[in-house]
Copies of this chain bind each other. A is one copy, B any other.
Amino acid sequence: MKANRLIYLPLGGAGEIGMNAYVYGYGPEDKERLILVDLGVAFPDMDTTPGVDLIMPDISWLEARKDRLEAIFITHAHEDHIGAVAHFWSRFKCPVYARRFTATIGKLKFDEHGHPKDAITVVEPRPDVVKAGPFDVQFVPVAHSVPESSALIIDTEAGRIVHSGDFKLDEDPLVGEAWQPDVFKAIAQERPVKALMCDSTNVFSLHAGRSEATLRDPLRELISAQRGMVVATTFASNVARLKTLAEAAQAAGRTICLLGRAMRRMVSAAEASGVLTGFPRTVSPEEAQDVPRGDLMLIVTGSQGERRAASAQLSRGKYLGLSMKEGDTFLFSSKTIPGNERGVISIMNAFSEMGVNIVDDSGGLYHVSGHANRPDLETVHRVLDPEMVIPMHGEHRHLREHARIAMAAGRVSDVVTNGMMIDLTGKKPDVVEYIEAGRTYLDGSVMIGARDGVVRDRIRMVLNGHVMVTLLLDESDSLLGDAWVEVKGLAEKGRTGAVLGETLEADLTEYLDGAGKKVLKDDSKLDEAVRRVVRQICMEEIGKKPEVTVVVSRLTEG
């Protein structure tokens, strides 16, 4: 009989910040019983994933082994951790465990997808234990930018793993549990930690992180100093921040209105699950219209410049009857996630044109991160003193830097990326297999593979434009009438001043009139020839080689 082994296999999150999905297994080789920690999404961008709605991990490996999957554990309610669960759950139909607030959010999603809500089980934190096959799992409250974020203690016969989840060391997080070094010390004293899988997001931030509580006074001072309407945006799930903003508004005698579905949903889920109490009374957008501007504060979605969120809508004009005016103030109580700069800056400029005062976090007063900075990571390494540190939740550069600082402190560490199956049984992480771990896209209502060519075709069309050629051939393979050309996404006229579509039609017709039967009677030769001619003419006329689609209709006898 083969010996049992303890394996770790990230399917997402170890190579990007987003779409977290980490598999753990314990048992004999290829018969390990499995659990999945988190199943999140990543967000598309125009450069690499235009038109895509959501990016999710490729879970085919896990799906093929679903009989071995005991359960899914969700550490917290951020989309990059919970966002794909409802999309994929029907492929597994296994139990899902989460703390109350996370479960509340999860159940809303399950409901929308028509899944049974009781598939998600609410778990109380440590010392409660969830048994899932050979795994004993405990949820350990940690501070983060969403309520009830948790680290997991994952115990098997082979040892104790601490999976950090997303966390920061915050002694006064305002909502949720504070960082308590004693709790972590106790975890390591109770049983030595074999491996720490650890959040790497802020490994390049060299100063110790600041507490959520440090924002309270600056936000109060800022808001009470304004005369016009104040609008603040932050991440919808940052319930502590929403509360701080709302309380600052209340202290300044302002009426509060929440704009954006995601934000109202978060606040009501937080109230329903008991993590949020005493949130100031809010009014609806309709009621807000009757409040004098100087007495009003809007808290809105769209801190990342998302085109459909409330911030962007307000930057384009009236939204739900409300609009910004000269003398109003717009506060970004948030940071711009790298890659979102263009959208955010475009909103700032639109507000600037309206005469709105923009306040952002460039002074460091109005936002703190939800992730542990480098010195905080080092603290956690010291307190848990694990046999190995495996960085996760980061791009390759974050994982590498995180491993580097762990090794610099004399610890065993390695860079483990999506698709690398690691055997943790021994004294150091041991790569045992490489799994094909790609990405899946939700595109409209269907899933497409990242390598299906769909997005590649889109990118080619957007960069090069698209020419469609229709040819009608008679029974003897002669062109009937002229070639028919439609052009989309290309200059109307070429460098000679002639209309491009007409030039193409004339030149193609001339070419086809002279083309041999060999070409004309063979669809694929004809397609290739037409494509070549079109691209050559376009290159001459407009200096671009477009995508070309050729449709050949052949009249058949009878």
Contact = CB atoms under 8 A, between A and B. Distances in A.
Contact of A466 (B455, B461, B464, B495): B461
A5 B444 CA distance: 58
B400 A551 contact: no
A488 B461 contact: yes
B339 A345 contact: yes
Most chain B CB inside 10 Å of its own CB: which residue of A445, A459, A472, A547: A445
A543 interface: yes
A348 B397 contact: yes
Nearest to A354: B396
A538 B443 CA distance: 12
Interface residues of A, number: 65
A491 interface: yes
A160 to B, nearest CB: 30
Contact of A50 (B339, B358, B462, B555): B462
A446 interface: yes
Contact of A489 (B45, B349, B457, B490): B457
Nearest to A15: B349
Given A345-B338, A492-B452, A462 B397 contact: no
A428 interface: no
Interface in A464-482: 464-466, 468, 470, 472, 480-481
B45 A468 contact: no
A463 interface: yes
Interface string A530-544: 000000001001111
A204 interface: yes
Q: Which 6 A-B pairs have the closest CB atoms?
A: A445-B543, A444-B543, A444-B544, A462-B462, A458-B489, A352-B397
Most chain B CB inside 10 Å of its own CB: which residue of A358, A396, A462, A465: A462
A542 B352 contact: no
Nearest to A443: B491
A489 B338 contact: no
B551 A489 contact: no
Contacts of A443: 490-491, 542-544
A222 interface: no
A17 B27 CA distance: 59
A551 B489 CA distance: 17
Given A338-B341, A462-B462, A551 B549 contact: no
Contact of A51 (B338, B343, B463): B463
Contacts of A555: 480
Interface of A: 45-48, 50-51, 204, 338-339, 341-343, 345, 348-349, 352-353, 358, 362, 395-397, 400, 443-446, 448, 452, 454-455, 457-459, 461-466, 468, 470, 472, 480-481, 484, 486, 488-495, 538, 541-544, 547, 549, 551, 553, 555
Contacts of A455: 489
A551 B468 CA distance: 9
A68 to B, nearest CB: 27
A446 to B, nearest CB: 5
A189 B369 CA distance: 51
Most chain B CB inside 10 Å of its own CB: which residue of A397, A446, A466, A543: A446
Nearest to A350: B396
Most chain B CB inside 10 Å of its own CB: which residue of A448, A458, A464, A494: A458
Contact of A444 (B47, B338, B542): B542
B341 A454 contact: no
A349 B397 contact: yes
B342 A45 contact: yes
23 contacts: A46-B50, A51-B462, A51-B465, A204-B362, A339-B345, A341-B341, A345-B395, A349-B395, A352-B395, A444-B538, A444-B544, A446-B491, A446-B494, A446-B495, A452-B491, A454-B492, A455-B489, A458-B488, A461-B466, A468-B549, A470-B470, A472-B553, A488-B547
Contact of A495 (B445, B544, B549): B445
Given A342-B47, A461-B488, A465-B458, A542 B446 contact: yes
Contact of A461 (B395, B458, B492, B544): B458
A342 B338 CA distance: 7
B51 A444 contact: no
Contact of A342 (B204, B339, B547): B339
A453 to B, nearest CB: 9
A445 B542 contact: yes
Given A443-B542, A454-B492, A488-B547, A349 B50 contact: no
B466 A466 contact: yes
A376 B549 CA distance: 57
A465 B445 CA distance: 14
B352 A488 contact: no
